[in-house]
Amino acid sequence: MPDAGTAGEQLERILYLLPLASREGGVPMTEAAERLGVTVELLQRDLEEVTSRAFYHPAGGADEIQILLEADNLKVYSYKKFDRPTKLSGREMLSLALGLRAAAGEAEPEAAAEIRDLAHRIEMELAVSSAPAEDDLFGIDEGDDEGAAIRSLLKGAARSRTRCRLLYLKPNDPQAEEREVDPYSLVYGSGKWYVIGYCHLRDGIRAFRVDRVLRASLLESNYAVPGDFDPTSYVADGRVFRSESAADVLVQYSSAVAPWVREHGPIEEAGNGRVAVRFTAADPGWVVRHVLSYRPEAEVVAPLDVRAMVIGAASTLLKVDIRAGHES
Amino acid sequence: MTEGISKTQRWLDLIAFLVGRKVPVEVDRIMEAVPAYAEKYTEADEKARQTVRRMFERDKDELKKLGIPIETVDLTINYGAEAVKAYRLSNRDFYLPYLKLIAPEEADAPPQPQPPKAGQVYLSATDVGIVHDALSRVSWVPSSPLKREADSALRKLTFDLSDSYRQPDFASVLYVDRPGAGEIRSRVRTLSDALLARKRVRFTYHGIRRGEDTERDVAPYGLLFQRGQWYLIGHDSTRDALRVFRVGRMEEPRANTKAPKKPDYEIPEGFSLDEYRDRDAWELGSDDDETLDARVLFEFPTSLWADRNGYGALQEELPDGSQVRSFQVRQVNPFLRWILSLEGRARIAAPAALAAGLGSLAREVLAVYEASAAAASAGAISTGGPDA
């Protein structure tokens, strides 16, 4: 006998599949499986749970369900029963309330109030009446609250395939640069947002950190995403990296910080409790900042030019700054 | 022959029998009509009848969790002489109302009788977009404990809408899972079930600072996804204090299975998960900790980035575009680490002691590189580096 969780999931699938197939013309099994995120074989097994009721149920009842499977197409005649999905369950409403609360938290006050109204209306009209959703027990914080408006604009642009103008600040550049970008995809990785898209200034696909986008606006032209574009090809070991011209940087960490480093992905043992990580980074500046954040507990082993960048950055901090008025 | 009736079939039979009936149905009739109950219930054995009744009670509880609320009604029969329990599953509680999409120009004045007709709910295209985004976020956030429910809610809420509202938008937004995300998902799911049922959890926690594994017994108060990680906030009975645990450092969290319907604890009234969110490492600590008012000079154009991200509060803008920004620092070390990572484009202007601390760190970093360079010139780079 399947356990309760499995039975629950199966019942939920059946109670969605029956109304879907009750609509005029029925539904192709492949489409139903795709909607439910399961295989056609699994749906066929679910259907057997319904059809086999005929073996033990008194035949001919007015509420009996008729199921017709012709080739791939499923039709259900249910005499006004099971012809609608069920209302939102407590957990479904919880997930919606949680998502809406996160959205309201990022929105301007007026829009936030509208989102809260929407959440309340859905809870009253579309969810089963029970205890209120305990969405305040959960929190989804995607960071960059200040950049919510920029992110929202970029998401909308990626959906509507609208070109954008970004004011982008690369850490080592003397000033921010205007770039026209076709935002193919917004990517969230390791706690940060990136936009991967075609940069018309650089004439190639680039990944931009959203927290370095100082301003963004929509342009009046659209673009098409190349058929072979795959955002996951810009991701390795849970990290997003910048472009195809990525270089390897070898970093070694002391035994004091090794436990934290081990948590973040693949490492190589470097003896005496030390560990080493090979980073793929198009922008070596990223590795420099990362290594510096570990103070003397991390060191760039190779290449030499990236070692020199770390030494340069640390030396800068020891120079006298006239504005700050002292050696910092 | 009912031996082969699965739980799913039993539930379907129960729902099919009850849904849409105008009047509540007495328990005896349910027992006779649902085949899986009927076989055992009709036997003369009272004990067997009680067993089946308990099965029905459990079914009712589980169905309620799945969003199928079978309502219990007290009925009197025989002209008031006898009180019995009866059950009802109304169409209104069971079926999702029809969702009608209204055009944007009608959003302010929906074409509907006021209040909306029962069984029909109007949503604007903007509403649907917001709902879509909200559910996608909960579904896609790495290791989300509510992924299944968020997907299912989206399926239901777009049931009446055209495909363009239903299609998930995988291509334009992507959440990257860290290695091992599947295992984290199952832990977060266990913890969220325990949290919602207010059941204590036990787990082995790998305290990374001390490098020790300790057994913890925790009353979960909240689950927070932040900076790409899930955290459990709860009362740790082994420490008798509120603690934050990184889910990635737990092993096999197990919820208390005794008395599943009875909560083990209550979440204190004043507890708010928001207090744990969106804090930088240097802001963590208790309210009693002394805070340091630090002034940081951000060079132009890094000043624009600090401003864009709300780092500190602007105190002064210099003619060259540099900015002095102030920070309330509770934890000095993470603050200095962060400033150090800005590659010299931000430096501490005050207080002097903090600036000196940053200088010391920079010297320590340089010393490491000098030592390994010296070792390399002696032909031993492989033994250089930190710890060498």
The beta-carbon neighbor of A296 closest among B344, B358, B365 is B365
Q: What sign for the dihedral angle of Cα A103, A104, A106, A111?
A: positive
For residue A278, pLDDT over 50 is answered with yes
Q: Would you call A289 and B343 a contact, using CB atoms and an 8 Å cutoff?
A: yes
Residue A83 maps to a domain:
no
If pLDDT is split at 50, 70 and 90, which confidence band does A159 have? confident
Strand partners for A225:
none
| Domain boundaries along the sequence of chain B | 7-94, 98-166, 195-265, 292-373
Determine the pLDDT at residue A60: 47
Strand partners for B250:
B205
Q: Is B45 exposed, middle or buried (0-12, 13-18, 19+ CB in 10 A)?
A: exposed
Determine the pLDDT at residue A328: 41
Q: What angle do CA A101, A105, A108 make, to 5 degrees?
A: 125
CB A298 within 8 A of CB A258: no
Tell me the chain B residues in contact with residue A53 when contact means C-beta distances shorter than 8 Å: 9, 12-13
A250-260 pLDDT per residue, tens: 999 999 888 88
If pLDDT is split at 50, 70 and 90, which confidence band does B112 have? low
Tell me the chain B residues in contact with residue A189 when contact means C-beta distances shorter than 8 Å: 175-176, 228
For residue B180, pLDDT over 90 is answered with no
If pLDDT is split at 50, 70 and 90, which confidence band does A1 have? very low
Size of interface A-B (CB pairs under 8 A): 412
Residue A293 maps to a domain:
yes
If pLDDT is split at 50, 70 and 90, which confidence band does A27 have? very high
A150 plus A182 within the same structural domain: yes
Q: Please state, in angstroms and as integers, the Cα–Cα distance from residue A246 to each residue in A226, A236, A278, A298, B119, following that order.
A: 21, 12, 12, 21, 57
Residue A326 maps to a domain:
no
Indicate the average pLDDT of chain A.
85
For residue A326, pLDDT over 80 is answered with no
If pLDDT is split at 50, 70 and 90, which confidence band does B387 have? low
A230 plus A286 within the same structural domain: no
The beta-carbon neighbor of B159 closest among A85, A214, A298 is A85
Domain tally, chain A: 4
If pLDDT is split at 50, 70 and 90, which confidence band does B167 have? low
For residue A49, pLDDT over 60 is answered with yes
Determine the pLDDT at residue A301: 92
For residue B329, pLDDT over 80 is answered with yes
Q: Would you call B146 and A289 a contact, using CB atoms and an 8 Å cutoff?
A: no
Residue that wins the pLDDT comparison between A240 and B29: B29
Residue A264 maps to a domain:
yes
Determine the pLDDT at residue B276: 83
Question: How far, in Å, CA of A309 to CA of A320, rounded?
Answer: 19
Token pair 């070390």 is at which residue? B333
Give Cβ neighbours of residue A225 (< 8 Å, ≥ 6 apart): A161, A182, A184, B171
Average pLDDT on B149-176 reads: 80
Q: Would you call A190 and B176 a contact, using CB atoms and an 8 Å cutoff?
A: yes
Determine the pLDDT at residue B173: 84
CATH of the domain at A63: 1.10.10.10
Give the DSSP H or E segment for A42: helix A40-51
Give Cβ neighbours of residue B120 (< 8 Å, ≥ 6 apart): B97, B98, B99, B100, B112
Question: How far, in Å, CA of A49 to CA of B10, rounded?
Answer: 10
A219 plus A160 within the same structural domain: yes
Two structure tokens written together for A35: 């909607």
For residue B117, pLDDT over 60 is answered with no
Question: How far, in Å, CA of A43 to CA of A236, rounded?
Answer: 35
Determine the pLDDT at residue B275: 84
Q: Would you call A299 and B372 a contact, using CB atoms and an 8 Å cutoff?
A: yes
If pLDDT is split at 50, 70 and 90, which confidence band does A246 have? low
For residue B247, pLDDT over 90 is answered with yes
The beta-carbon neighbor of B304 closest among A169, A253, A264 is A169
CB B299 within 8 A of CB A325: no
Tell me which architecture the domain covering B292-373 has in CATH: 2-Layer Sandwich (3.30)
Determine the pLDDT at residue A5: 40
Residue A321 maps to a domain:
no
Q: How far is B38 from chain A (nearest CA, A)?
A: 11
Q: Would you call B131 and A96 a contact, using CB atoms and an 8 Å cutoff?
A: yes
Strand partners for B296:
B325, B348
Two structure tokens written together for B16: 């099919």
What is the percentage of chain A residues whose pLDDT exceeds 70? 89
The beta-carbon neighbor of B173 closest among A52, A186, A272 is A186
Average pLDDT on A90-101 reads: 94
Determine the pLDDT at residue B118: 58
Nearest-CA residue of chain A relative to B220? A137
Determine the pLDDT at residue B109: 57
- Residues constituting chain B: 388
Structural domain span for residue A199: 145-240
Residue A160 maps to a domain:
yes
Q: Would you call B274 and A139 a contact, using CB atoms and an 8 Å cutoff?
A: yes
> Out of A241-250, B104-113, B208-217, which region has the weakest mean confidence (pLDDT)?
B104-113
Rg for chain B (alpha carbons), in Å? 30
Residue A192 maps to a domain:
yes
Residue A218 maps to a domain:
yes
| C-beta atoms surrounding B54 within 10 Å | 10
CA dihedral angle for residue B62, residue B67, residue B68, residue B72, rounded to 10 degrees: 80
For residue B332, pLDDT over 50 is answered with yes
Last residue of a domain, one of A219, A240, A261: A240
Tell me the chain A residues in contact with residue B155 when contact means C-beta distances shorter than 8 Å: 16, 35-36, 85
For residue A243, pLDDT over 70 is answered with no
If pLDDT is split at 50, 70 and 90, which confidence band does A283 have? confident
> Out of B188-202, B280-294, B310-324, B341-355, which region has the weakest mean confidence (pLDDT)?
B280-294
Residue that wins the pLDDT comparison between B315 and B384: B315
> Out of B191-195, B250-254, B376-380, which region has the weakest mean confidence (pLDDT)?
B376-380
Tell me the chain A residues in contact with residue B127 when contact means C-beta distances shorter than 8 Å: 118
Average pLDDT on A300-312 reads: 92
Q: Tell me, which fold does domain B195-265 have in CATH?
A: SH3 type barrels. (2.30.30)
Average pLDDT on B298-306 reads: 94
Determine the pLDDT at residue B111: 54
Average pLDDT on B72-76 reads: 88
A174 plus A212 within the same structural domain: yes
Interface test with A, best of B269, B324, B368, B370 (most A CBs within 10 A): B368
Last residue of a domain, one of A177, A211, A240: A240
Determine the pLDDT at residue B339: 93
Q: Would you call A81 and B155 a contact, using CB atoms and an 8 Å cutoff?
A: no
Q: Would you call B173 and A321 a contact, using CB atoms and an 8 Å cutoff?
A: no
Determine the pLDDT at residue A80: 76
If pLDDT is split at 50, 70 and 90, which confidence band does B151 have? very high
For residue A327, pLDDT over 50 is answered with no
Q: Would you call A2 and B8 a contact, using CB atoms and an 8 Å cutoff?
A: yes
Question: How far, in Å, CA of B217 to CA of B93, rounded?
Answer: 39
CATH of the domain at A197: 2.30.30
Q: Tell me, which fold does domain B7-94 have in CATH?
A: Arc Repressor Mutant, subunit A (1.10.10)
Average pLDDT on B238-257 reads: 92
Residue that wins the pLDDT comparison between B353 and A58: B353
Q: Would you call B355 and A140 a contact, using CB atoms and an 8 Å cutoff?
A: no
For residue A125, pLDDT over 80 is answered with yes
If pLDDT is split at 50, 70 and 90, which confidence band does A106 have? confident
Q: Would you call B134 and A325 a contact, using CB atoms and an 8 Å cutoff?
A: no
